[in-house]
Structure 1
Amino acid sequence: MASTILITGANGSLALPAIKHLLTNYATHHAVLTVRNASASDPNTQKLRAIISPFQNRASIRELDLSDLSSVRSFGTALATDITSGSIPPLSSIICNAYYWNLATAPDFTQDGFERTFQINHLSHALLVQQLLESFGPADTSESSPRSGRIVVFGSDAIFPGQNGLEKYPPRLPENLDDLAKPDLGLDKNDYMGHGFHRYALSKLATVTWMYALNKHLQKPENAHLKDITAVAVNPGNLSDSRALRSNTPFMLQFASRFVIRPLGPVLRRMIDPLMRTAETAGKDVIELTVDDRFKGTSGYFTLLEQGEGPPDSVDEDKQAAVWDKTVKWCSQ
């Protein structure tokens, strides 16, 4: 049965090979691919166009600005309308791949009043998912069949204290969750990289915590028609060839990316970081986790394709409920 997979950040390092793998190997899936800039002036979007060119009847590119909640709402409404009208098949998956970080300069706030890293990585994706739950299709043609599918968000070893070499400040959810969305930026002027990476890690930690809460929400009796939708968070590994290492990062990290991490990736994986891999390998795994039958019905936290558990904050049920409630409140502003 035909279905649609929505992928945000579709011109990113991981997304490009993931989309090629999806369209090449899973012929029943239509792909809606979002990018911030869909114009011909963006070289990464041009790479995306080249990948989907043999699959024009099964893939489309749409603009989506995750730094603007009104853009997210408009996009979600338009996509839901297209699905209702039959223009495209119902959803079977949402892959929340887009991300943002800033390790090089002073942080800023979006027009919605939220710190940009947190809004793009967490809030906008949460809003998008909430808008589109009713646009998932049933598992079969029976009228009583509940909606079915998979929501994929992204974790990182950065959410586990002490696990990432860029960590300077351990990632832990603050008592006042408003500090996530509207942090005091006064300290950043002395350490853009340290605090920028901390904000990135916290945005991922909030997302993973929210993922656990989302699964509980989908299993509530009043959501019986959604009970076969599951959510997973995946750490796809540390990508040696990711453009992230060269975007909004200080010169030292860009230098290391070009002359150490990329050329020595296989050696570093064997000797230092077993999670280091290429974007192509990671992208294929993300698609397999999303659509392959062996992962049907699974939920929770994955490192690569191995199921495990998120960090302590994320599995604390009180914190899950608090992050869920706050996210709903933030997204309704």
Structure 2
Amino acid sequence: MSGGTVVVTGANGTLGLAFIASALKDFPIHHLILTVRNPSQKDINTAKLHALLSKIPDARYTIHTLDLSTLAAVRTFATLITTQITNGELPIAAIICNAFAWSLTSGLKFTPDGSMDKTNGRIIGMSSDSHDPGLNALEVFPPAIPADIEELAKPPPDAPRGEVGRGFQRYGVSKLCVVMYTDPALKGITAIALDPGGLPDSRAMSNDTPVAWGILMKYFLNPLQPVLKFAVPTLRKSGAAEKDLVQLGLGEVYRGANGYYIMSKPGKSSADSYDEAKCARLWERSVVWSGIEPAGTVGVMPVLSRSPYMNFRK
């Protein structure tokens, strides 16, 4: 098998770092395109990425700056990737959509914009049980696509003292969107939405979250995870989750896999995720919110379908 390229967003995140370590070890034939918001090694998380890569002298990778909160930056990066695919320089083996950020204690925030292998190619989006009403203990308001879908891009203000509950609801809805994305005009895209499980060693609770959540994660859930996992099997460390992510993204056993996975097994997602009308509406409005021309979708999907490494099928 010849090598391809694996695009990883959020490369300096907890799960991203674990994924990269395993991917370079188990699939050294591939070249990794690693994206980070802050490329400076003064950033503690980017420094961890460079430290990891320095231990693998034969690693094949490039690091790109990509701020996903800015559509202009996303378009620039998409154009770069599209051009390289068109020129035959970049056969995509997998795209790992791992980046995320949230604001809970500080309330609602807006972005500056106001709002593969022919038999192996895969797109992996990260979801979680927070997308399904009633499954996550931190849920206050159930995640759902609002009747006025424009509220996804422009949510109404949070009520006083409701920032955390509404913030976590928005997080859950974002994970629901990962599962729901589909474009009727692009039938046959092989894509996986992965719930990696609860990761108590994640740095997700280190910023803009209630202090109590961070204490619970750091001093209770993380150290006691080896015992708690027997009662809650989905509670596990990032080192275990990355093994599933690597295999789902690159492993032969998951060739042609599609749909929603809970850890390494196919799972059932929420009722909303099976509503084809809502899925189609979500895609249509996302194209509009992103300022993308429908005929091109930034040109990425049509070009990916011509990549010798991508197989699009449903």
- TM-score (normalised: structure 1): 0.83
- Aligned to 1:330, which of 284, 289, 301? 289
Offset of residue 97 of structure 1: 0.4
Does residue 262 of the first structure (1) align with residue 234 of the second (2)? no
Structure 2 residue aligned with 1:144:
none
Q: 1:10-45, CA deviations, whole angstroms, 9 ceiling, x for partnerless residues?
A: 000111111010000112211000000011111111
2-structure distance, mates of 1:91, 1:298: 17
Indicate if the aligned counterparts of 2:41 and 2:50 stay in contact, CA closer than 8 A: no
User: Match of 1:168, SS?
Assistant: coil
Query: Is residue 211 of structure 2 the alignment partner of residue 240 of structure 1?
Result: no
Distance 1:56 1:183 in 2: 47
- Report how far residue 270 of structure 1 moved: 1.7
Greater relative contact order: 1 or 2 (C-alpha under 8 angstroms, separation 6 or more)? 2
> Aligned partners of 2:57 and 2:128: how far apart in 1?
31
Pair 1:102 & 2:74 matched:
no
CA distance in 1, matches of 2:134, 2:103: 20
Counterparts of 1:89 and 1:241, CA distance in 2: 34
- Which of 165, 174, 190 matches 1:194? 165
* Whole-angstrom CA distance in 1 between matches of 2:238 and 2:117: 30
Give the SS at the match of 1:183: coil
State the SS of the aligned residue for 1:319: helix
Residues 330, 301 of structure 1: CA spacing in aligned structure 2 closer, same or farther, 3 A cutoff?
A: same
Structure 1 pair 191–56 and aligned structure 2 pair: CA distance change class (3 A): farther
Q: 1 CA distance for matches of 2:268 and 2:34?
A: 29
Displacement over 6 Å in runs of 4+? none
CA RMSD of aligned residues (A): 1.7
Q: Is the 8 A contact 2:81 2:90 kept in 1?
A: no
In structure 2, how many angstroms separate the alpha carbons of the residues matched to 1:55 and 1:332?
Answer: 41
CA distance in 1, matches of 2:39, 2:167: 27
- Partner Cα distance (1:287, 1:217) in 2: 29
2:252 to 285, 293, 299: 293
| Distance (Å, rounded) in 2 between the aligned partners of 1:309 and 1:56 | 40
SS of residue paired to 1:218? coil
1:185 to 141, 147, 157: 157
Q: Which residue of 2 aligns with 1:209?
A: 180
Matches within 5 A, 1:144-159: 149-159=121-131
CA contact (8 A) 1:30 1:89 kept: no
CA distance in 1, matches of 2:107, 2:117: 43
The residue correspondences of 1:1-333 to structure 2 (distance < 5 A) are 1-53=2-54, 54-55=56-57, 58-85=60-87, 88-114=89-115, 136=116, 138=118, 149-187=121-159, 189-210=160-181, 213-214=182-183, 217-219=185-187, 227=188, 229-271=189-231, 273-332=232-291
Q: Which runs of 5+ in 2 are unaligned?
A: 293-314
Percent of matched pairs sharing the same residue: 40
CA contact (8 A) 1:153 1:207 kept: yes
| Partner secondary structure for residue 249 of structure 2 | helix
Cα 1:312–1:247 change in 2 (3 A) is same
> Counterpart amino acid of 2:169?
H
**C-alpha distance in 2, partners of 1:309/1:252?**
31
Q: Equivalents in 2 of 1:18, 1:57: separation in Å?
A: 14
Q: Any idea what the Cα deviations from partners look like across 1:265-304, whole Å, max 9, x if unmatched?
A: 1222222x22100011101210100111111112110000
Residue identity opposite 1:209 in structure 2: M
* Alpha-carbon offset, residue 308 of structure 1: 2.0
What's the secondary structure of 2:64's corresponding residue?
strand
Deviation at 1:68, TM superposition (A): 0.1
Q: CA shift at 1:204, angstroms?
A: 1.0
SS at 1:95's partner residue? strand
The structure with more helix, counted as a fraction of residues: 1
- State the 1:170 CA deviation: 0.8
- Aligned twin of 1:222: none
- How many equivalent residue pairs? 290
User: Scaled by the length of structure 2, what TM-score is found?
Assistant: 0.88
Tell me how far 1:312 sits from its aligned partner: 0.5
